[in-house]
Structure 1
Amino acid sequence: MATKTIRTFYNLCICVGMFINTDAFAQTWPNLPAKISGKIINGLNSNDSIVVNINEDNPKWSYKKKIVPINADGFFQILLDTIHQPSAIRMVIKGRNYMIFEREIEPGDSLFLEIDAVVSNPANKYSGYMPKYSGNNVGKYRCDDSIAIFRQGWDNQRKNLYNQFVACRYSDEYYTKLYEFLQTGYGKVIMILDNFKGQLSPAMYEYLKARYIAFYVPWSSTLRSEYSQTNNLDNKARIIKNFGRYQPSKLVVSPDIAGYDTFFLGHLFSHIQVETWFEYDGKKYSFKLIYEKLKSRYSGFLRERLLAYFLYWPGNMLYVENYDPADFAACLADAKSITKDPWLKKVLAQKTFLKSGTAAYPFALPDTSGKIVKLADLKGKVILLDLWGLGCSGCAQFYQLFEKEIQPHLANEPNFKFVSLNADNSTERWTTGIKSGKYTNDHHINLYLEGKGVKHPFAKFYSIVSAPFIILIDKQGNLITKIELGLSGAELLKTIKTALIAQ
């Protein structure tokens, strides 16, 4: 079957529509403070404290860190300023590498936790340990715990299903069984959720319903994986045909509430992304095309959240071909002009488009020997500056591309420098990353943001909220362009060589 026929299948099978608010539900959250207090009942040392990471209505859509003291009796208290939406919170005892609490708190919550720091050290997230909760609105935690227990068995059943149908993989029967399994699993999750409905705020009920769709109906990502693992054109056509079984437009959730959950936003975005990927037969596509699809397919607050989500996260560039900075600038300007939500306006205002020709930040940072390296020291060189963090998959992905497709062509070029800039909070993590060879190596210029991460003036200058952050600087110390993950090695090499030729 020819590629043209596959695209015909695509056009016949991918039917989409506007997101339907069948519940006509518009209630959200009030603007209220929140409080978490509690007691550590075991495994506490006299100098222990709690490290809290929270996205407390953070317009940067990222976590802020707080250090919360624990008194001699094991008590602690975390006070949050006025918040208007669920705020994700993660808690660890300083110096230990496991979570003692990871949930979301609503505006107006007053929660008390009793945590056994010994028992809560899990081999995996769902080891069976659940903190004791008391206070208002705790039904959401008990509900989440019940669903986490259900998921253990559900994950095993899904693996068994894959094994059972391995002989007829890519058949219509296989996809029918898989789709029915996912729908049944989600149905059981909703039954658990409904059992707790009386203990949940109306807004949180809708919020969790949307989130569990993202967790239990991974149809788009599953079929994209299937598609990438076969070269058989009949198999590809069958995957595309079955992709049309699932339509987000038919979901019975409130868009006013669902838009608050980033997992659900990712779910909707993934569906359009995979749909377009199928349309282009597994090849990359333009950034603007996805933006226009998101803009035309959804409306209201949900559309505003989706557009901001797409523009804000670098990982959304992964399948974009020939990333055009002018396209990004135009899409960002358009999103700013149509966005009404005040919080999202702040988000988009902090997403800046770096203009070519402006002076780069005049950094002066230590290398691994302690020597201070300045941007001015590198005048006359074209600089590819790469900010990374240990454990960042996108950072490792970019460096792998650099090593394979860029470095071999520039190894003997005296006027080119690769400058690696680490954003971790300890020199140990920095040196571990260098030694691993995944993010840089000791042949490059390796600098450190002095443990300040996104709070460093360098990061603030560029409004950096996540890694990798990659820019190309010309011989005069001016910005050429920001490099996105979607840019191919060939395009990046061409851009660097053009800069090397320029005076």
Structure 2
Amino acid sequence: MNLFYTLIFGLLLFSSCSNSATTTIEGTIDYLGDTPLILEEKPVHYKYAPVQRDTITVDSNGDFTLSITVEEPEIRQIILEDQSYPLYVTPGNDLTVQITRSNFPKNVQVEGYEQNWDTQYNDYLNEIDGLDTQISEEEEKIKVGEDNQLLRLSKQKYETAKKYLQNTPLDDYYLKTIGEYLVFKVRAIEYNDRHFDNFDADSAREVLFAEADSLGFFTYESQLAQRAGIRDFTHYYSRTFGIYDSVKAAYGMDLSEYDIKQVAYEELNEKRIEVMNHIEDRDALAHARMHLIAERIGEQGIETAQPSYDRYLEEFSDYPKYTEFLRYFYNEIKSVSPGQPAVPFAIPDIDGNIHTMEDYRGKFVLLDFWAGWCQPCLEEFPHMKEIYQNYSRDELEIVGISNEVDSLVWVQDIQRLDLPWPQLYSGDGFQEETFRAYKGGGIPFYILVDPDGKIARYNDIRASFNFTTVFDSLLQEYQNQQN
């Protein structure tokens, strides 16, 4: 048998052994309006991986039906505006869902489960009602060294999740609340060390890891359940060593978090890697390191990430789901690295006039992706206004591209903020087409395009920090080439 037929036979054998089956999700919703009803699959990486989303078509009576292919039992999210509801789907097991819009995600009823897991989840939501608001309020207190109940309330949340969700198909939501609690505990170390002279951060870190081990936080199942794998825990852990405060003191200015992560990358990364020593299971380690390398590619660029990226592909070649994602993301970032052509766009301004990338050929263009709810975005605007005055429009233009979901909010924001540069809007929030094409993971997010329409800098400049120094050098180099 030649190679071609061997491959065909192998594919047929694989497909015949697959457990995938069609699962139908049907149901009713009492009111939908213009808001789409979405079924979303959890991506490999929370920020950088492609998201599989199915729009559920709802008829005029509020009825809907969607058939999906399911290979193994998993959680998929029903999304309505900014709220979500977990749906446990299994191959070939049809579900009937009833949604009341005004109460969503509460009081969702699901027929087709083996047990009343929908009722248990609703009981969980009812018992923690208002708890997240209290947690947010207490979080503000801990930041400034005030007495607070943050850890007590966060622990109360995970204990409630344990009561209703542990050892059910929704167990992920119990494990996720453990992660949230531990992240708050890490953050408490940073703030207590900052505000209290006699605080023993080393001892607090030892207690933290002991509790994390006792709660099974470093297991594979727990890491899968977290919003961002190990990323949030390692990120805040690295901050407990006073590195942020040291960098701010050294520069004599209140740098943004992104700038600090650029300046102190080596020190912060060394502390993140320390966390890996607490992960013994190889599946969990593969998952954790995948998240850290993806963050490195996305925030530091492919040159910095290259050595660890190459090592991961070799060491964890038996985890194709992770290595395929990293290869995909590496190539995506490479496609928008400095020297590559800028992403074309055609986006309207508030008057409906269409702006394209080509309109700005012949000058440097700073693309500013922002939203009115993003405080770091707003904090940059005074510095950006100063820069806008210091350079001519033949040298530099700034173009704002909104990541706001609601166009009315966008209009109110640009009127309130009185920004003098062009402001464009195409909707979809973080799914905005140009933002996604540039592989944006968060805002503020900046792309500097040169006069030839090529990317000059990729999200490593800030008006409040290094823009003028970097831009003056690039402008001088370009002007010398023209003379």
User: What's the TM-score once normalised by structure 2's chain length?
Assistant: 0.71
Paired residues for 1:43-442 under 5 Å: 44=31, 51-55=37-41, 57=43, 61=49, 63=51, 65-71=53-59, 74-82=62-70, 84=72, 86-92=74-80, 99=83, 102-108=85-91, 110-117=94-101, 120=103, 129-136=106-113, 139-152=116-129, 186-187=158-159, 189-194=161-166, 197=167, 200-201=168-169, 205=171, 207-217=172-182, 218-227=184-193, 230=195, 232-234=196-198, 237-238=199-200, 241-247=203-209, 248-252=212-216, 255-263=219-227, 265=229, 268-283=230-245, 284=260, 286-291=264-269, 294=272, 296-297=276-277, 298=279, 300-312=282-294, 326-340=303-317, 341-351=319-329, 352-353=333-334, 354-389=336-371, 391=373, 393=374, 396-401=375-380, 403-414=381-392, 415-423=395-403, 427-428=407-408, 430-437=410-417, 441-442=418-419
What percent of counterpart residues are identical?
12
Tell me, in whole angstroms, the C-alpha distance in 2 between the residues paired with 1:249 and 1:182. 18
Tell me, in whole angstroms, the C-alpha distance in 1 between the residues paired with 2:474 and 2:68. 48
Tell me, in whole angstroms, the C-alpha distance in 2 between the residues paired with 1:159 and 1:406. 31
Match in the other structure for 1:491: 466
2:224 aligned counterpart, secondary structure: coil
Matched, 1:37 2:15: no
Closer/same/farther in 2, CA of residues 435 and 32 from structure 1, 3 Å limit = farther
> What one-letter code is carried by the residue in structure 2 that aligns with 1:103?
P
Match in the other structure for 1:479: 455
1:481 aligned counterpart, secondary structure: strand
Paired residues for 1:6-21 under 5 Å: none
Q: Which is helix-richer, 1 or 2? A: 2
Tell me, in whole angstroms, the C-alpha distance in 1 between the residues paired with 2:407 and 2:438. 23
Closer/same/farther in 2, CA of residues 337 and 398 from structure 1, 3 Å limit = farther
1:424: how far off? Answer: 5.3
1:362: how far off? Answer: 3.9
- Measured against aligned partners, the alpha-carbon deviations of 1:329-363 in whole angstroms (never above 9, x if no partner) come to 54445444544433333432332233322222344
- Measured against aligned partners, the alpha-carbon deviations of 1:161-220 in whole angstroms (never above 9, x if no partner) come to 99xx99xx78xxx89x976776576455434445xx3xx35xx54x34421312444311
Closer/same/farther in 2, CA of residues 436 and 302 from structure 1, 3 Å limit = farther
- Measured against aligned partners, the alpha-carbon deviations of 1:17-71 in whole angstroms (never above 9, x if no partner) come to xxxxxxxxxxxx975554422123x4x48x8885215136577546555443334
1:72: how far off? Answer: 5.5
Matched-pair contact (CA < 8 Å) for 1:214–1:264: no
Tell me, in whole angstroms, the C-alpha distance in 1 between the residues paired with 2:86 and 2:265. 33
Query: How large is the RMSD of aligned CA atoms in angstroms?
Result: 4.4
1:502: how far off? Answer: 1.5
> What one-letter code is carried by the residue in structure 2 that aligns with 1:500?
L
Tell me, in whole angstroms, the C-alpha distance in 1 between the residues paired with 2:424 and 2:205. 46
Matched-pair contact (CA < 8 Å) for 2:70–2:89: no
Tell me, in whole angstroms, the C-alpha distance in 2 between the residues paired with 1:332 and 1:222. 32
Match in the other structure for 1:4: none
Matched-pair contact (CA < 8 Å) for 2:369–2:435: no
> What one-letter code is carried by the residue in structure 2 that aligns with 1:261?
A
Closer/same/farther in 2, CA of residues 471 and 378 from structure 1, 3 Å limit = same
Q: Taking CA–CA contacts closer than 8 Å with sequence separation of 6 or more, which of the two structures ends up with the larger relative contact order?
A: 1
Tell me, in whole angstroms, the C-alpha distance in 2 between the residues paired with 1:157 and 1:378. 48
Tell me, in whole angstroms, the C-alpha distance in 1 between the residues paired with 2:268 and 2:351. 45
Closer/same/farther in 2, CA of residues 347 and 489 from structure 1, 3 Å limit = farther
1:261: how far off? Answer: 2.0
Matched-pair contact (CA < 8 Å) for 1:62–1:465: no
Matched-pair contact (CA < 8 Å) for 2:364–2:397: yes
Tell me, in whole angstroms, the C-alpha distance in 2 between the residues paired with 1:32 and 1:306. 30
Instruction: Name stretches of at least 5 consecutive residues in structure 2 with no aligned partner.
Output: 1-17, 246-259, 479-483
1:444: how far off? Answer: 0.7
> What one-letter code is carried by the residue in structure 1 that aligns with 2:414?
I
1:421: how far off? Answer: 1.9
